[in-house]
Structure 1
Amino acid sequence: MSREASAWVRPLAWTAVLLDGFDLVVLGTVLPVLLRDHVWGLTPGTASAVSTAGLVGMTLGALAIGTVTDRIGRRKALIFAVTAFSACTALCALAPSAFVFGLLRFLAGLGLGGCLPTAITLVTEHARAGKGGSATTTVMTGYHVGAVLTALLGIGLIPALGWRAMFVAGALPAVVLVPLMVKFLPESEVFEAVAARRERPSARDVVRGLFSGGFLRATIAFWVTSFMGLVLVYGLNTWLPEIMRQAGYQLGAALGLLLTLNLGGVAGLLVAGFAADRAGIRRSTITWFLAAAAFLALLSVRLPGFGLYAAVFLAGSFVFSAQVLVYAYVGRTYGDALRATGLGWAAGIGRLGAICGPVVGGALLSAGIAYPWGFYAFALIGLAGAAGALAVRTGSAAKNPQRTVKVRRG
């Protein structure tokens, strides 16, 4: 494959991951308007159901598309995922009822759930030897850039054009991105080599491979770690402003802390990739979760202005990049025949944590103990993530993952 063709992989994958960042924030930007204007008679309860529907769709999409990617190829799977997500997101702007809106969010989630694991698989397989960690973390900066841009877009777009315009804006990138992917996105040479040998395992055998050949312990440990990581990501993004308000900070300062948290995430990803390539992916993942736990615990202490923003920035740096290091770790642990499936299932199980994170924060707020106990709870979750990464072990058979699945020739 030419160097020119490979050069397209990272920017196209980065843009696809940016859509995941869009989805992280977009519902939070439009729900206050929907509730305030009583659109469709929406209540906080039905709004929570709509939010959960999207996350359930992402979970199922991640679980399914990883396996599909190991069957049909990374290129086709990513193009399909982006197209499906963007089409359903555009239709959200036309939704006539809360039920249809929730259904479209679910269907968009199915496509979006496949973007992240497939994009990471492609980037990992096109990365230079020893640079897989930094390639993964660099691409995942798109996630936080997308979240920040969407929040800023909401500030300017919703007052001028209304909430529906946000979903039109979220679908527009596909008008340019999908044709570029069709024309320029190359298939992974790893997948092409497997296809050329006609050694494509069935979907059942690919999934079974995650639990055999020495991978059982690693698979479960990755699921635990990914779950804990996304509890932190979604719990903090959803409730940090309200927790800080409960602590006595003004709303403007609380929203500023949320922006600081995500800016720290972008910076942390660049440092984490550098560390993973030099110190090793396992050691870096464990260290990042431990550091995340330490800075989350520190937020339970009332700090002076600069110290508070510095602590939140560092917490974001370690929390968000710890989760991305999990994906890089998965990509290095499973071999060519299982990589996309392993990433898809780790991301899918992790999405359950994305559902639980806001629930945990909401329960602590309802009980009136989110500050300081919420930060202690999140710190414990960070420690659980470190323990999960520490537990990753693979048996000797896992050194040749192609032998862990049955292949169908012809």
Structure 2
Amino acid sequence: MSAGTQERGRAAWVVTLCWIAVILDGFDLVVLGALIPTLTGGDAPFMTGAEATFAATIGLVGMMVGALSIGIATDRIGRRRALIWAVAAFSLLTALCGLAQTPAQLSFFRFLAGIGLGGCLPTAIAMVTEFSRGQAGRAATRVMTGYHVGAVATAVLALILLPVTGWRGMFWAGALPGLVVVPLMMRHLAESPAYLLAQGRRSEAEAVARAHGIALAAPDTGAPRASIRTLFEPARLRTTLAIWVTSFMGLLLVYALNSWLPALMVAADYGLERGLWLLLLLNAGAVTGLLAAGQVGDRIGLRRAATLWFVAGAVLLALLSWKMPVALLYPVVFLTGCFVFSAQVLVYAFTAARFPAGIRATAIGMAAGVGRLGAIAGPLIGGTLVSMGIGHPWGFYVFALVGLLGAVALGCAGRGKE
């Protein structure tokens, strides 16, 4: 085996393991929504609808806390260690969700699991960006396909397991892959050369870079240390705030549509069964869009691509406010998934490319953490509009406006290298 082949193989291990971690994040996105009818239904429901709403919300709060805290920790304790501990922690806590005896216990375990899950995303993106050999856009978008692969797989898994194992088995099935992948991470996941350089461990950084066939950045004695404060320095403040606003808008759309698209389609008289198929089609479009978005971003610039993606998503969301033939509805929903969901990932890729390696995970973590506020707000906005009986068409008008605001915000980011 040639040296080049060995290097590509080692780099592939890093990307694959990060991709699996993101798949588990996608599982968490869908699992509780898939289980709520079982948890709240039947002759002896495990929890009420209000308790289920609280459990779903507190899990998102945990993910916000995890993104804000672990993203910073990765630049301090090392990205390899942070990712391994995050995957191990949320896998164990997801298994404990399957053992919960009360709604309060389930909510508590969901919150703690969310902390680990929230830390996975910024760490995984920072890792694959560094090991991507100069293709930051493609690396970030490809690894984020795992998010929607996990969402689709969870829906399919629920159809298979729920009749056999009940809701507890779904949580255990979600925990098992993480527990299996942790030993593989310990064996095959390399440490970030940028982190090693920042710690003064240059010989180790050079060894990792050689083994994985990536270029090692020249030492920069003036490089910033990992700190939230560095994101607010005058040269970075404008870009930081623009990314935060855009991330808020992007995740608001992702979670609102994943939570309420079937209900919005029912309100438009398309029917519940068709609404569920449209939800699946939306996520299938997301995977396709991610594969295209990274290549476009690397070719025309990540900020320009993300801005165009938000504008296109806004136009498509506005189109969905009109009652249209089913033959036209399916491709429009598919394209909506292509643009809306991959727009948010382009924001992460832009963040990874714009900030120096020493604070990259901190910058992505803060963007994801602020974005989680949008993830909480999106389902609440969608639910409010549906409960008021104006989900269609006004829900789509509101979401189209959110997409335009995301495009405007990103357009305000400062100039710099991508």
Provide the TM-score with structure 2 as the length reference. 0.91
Pick the aligned partner of 1:23 from 28, 38, 42: 28
1:81: how far off? 0.7
Say whether residues 1:282 and 2:303 are aligned partners: yes
Counterpart for residue 166 of structure 1: 170
| SS across alignment from 1:57 | helix
CA distance in 2, matches of 1:200, 1:178: 34
Give unmatched runs, 5+ long, in structure 2.
1-5, 203-219
Counterpart for residue 209 of structure 1: 230
1:371: how far off? 0.4
Mark the CA change 1:275 to 1:211 in structure 2 (over 3 Å): closer, same or farther. same
Assess if the C-alpha contact under 8 Å between 1:50 and 1:105 holds in 2: yes
Say whether residues 1:358 and 2:379 are aligned partners: yes
Assess if the C-alpha contact under 8 Å between 2:75 and 2:226 holds in 1: no
| SS across alignment from 1:71 | helix
CA distance in 1, matches of 2:327, 2:226: 54
| SS across alignment from 2:76 | helix
Assess if the C-alpha contact under 8 Å between 2:351 and 2:363 holds in 1: yes
CA distance in 1, matches of 2:76, 2:272: 49
Pick the aligned partner of 1:35 from 18, 33, 40: 40
CA distance in 2, matches of 1:383, 1:39: 45
CA distance in 2, matches of 1:251, 1:366: 16
Counterpart for residue 95 of structure 1: 100
Pick the aligned partner of 1:7 from 8, 12, 30: 12
Pick the aligned partner of 1:249 from 257, 266, 270: 270
Aligned-residue sequence identity (percent) comes to 55
Q: Deviations over 1:201-224 (max 9, x none)?
A: 9x9961100101411111111110
Q: Deviations over 1:197-245 (max 9, x none)?
A: 69999x9961100101411111111110000000100000000001100
Assess if the C-alpha contact under 8 Å between 1:71 and 1:200 holds in 2: no
Q: Deviations over 1:173-199 (max 9, x none)?
A: 023210000000011112112222699
Say whether residues 1:72 and 2:44 are aligned partners: no
Assess if the C-alpha contact under 8 Å between 1:228 and 1:384 holds in 2: yes
Root-mean-square deviation over aligned CA pairs: 1.9
Counterpart for residue 53 of structure 2: 48
Q: How many residues align?
A: 395
Mark the CA change 1:155 to 1:372 in structure 2 (over 3 Å): closer, same or farther. same
CA distance in 2, matches of 1:9, 1:271: 22
Assess if the C-alpha contact under 8 Å between 2:71 and 2:122 holds in 1: yes
Say whether residues 1:177 and 2:181 are aligned partners: yes
Counterpart for residue 297 of structure 1: 318
Pick the aligned partner of 2:239 from 209, 218, 221: 218
Residues 209-218 or 378-387, more deviating: 209-218
CA distance in 1, matches of 2:32, 2:221: 39
Mark the CA change 1:344 to 1:39 in structure 2 (over 3 Å): closer, same or farther. farther
Residues 29-38 or 160-169, more deviating: 29-38
Counterpart for residue 272 of structure 1: 293
AA aligned opposite 2:176 = L
1:323: how far off? 0.3
1:47: how far off? 1.1
Mark the CA change 1:373 to 1:392 in structure 2 (over 3 Å): closer, same or farther. same
CA distance in 2, matches of 1:240, 1:191: 41
1:66: how far off? 0.8
Assess if the C-alpha contact under 8 Å between 2:46 and 2:102 holds in 1: no
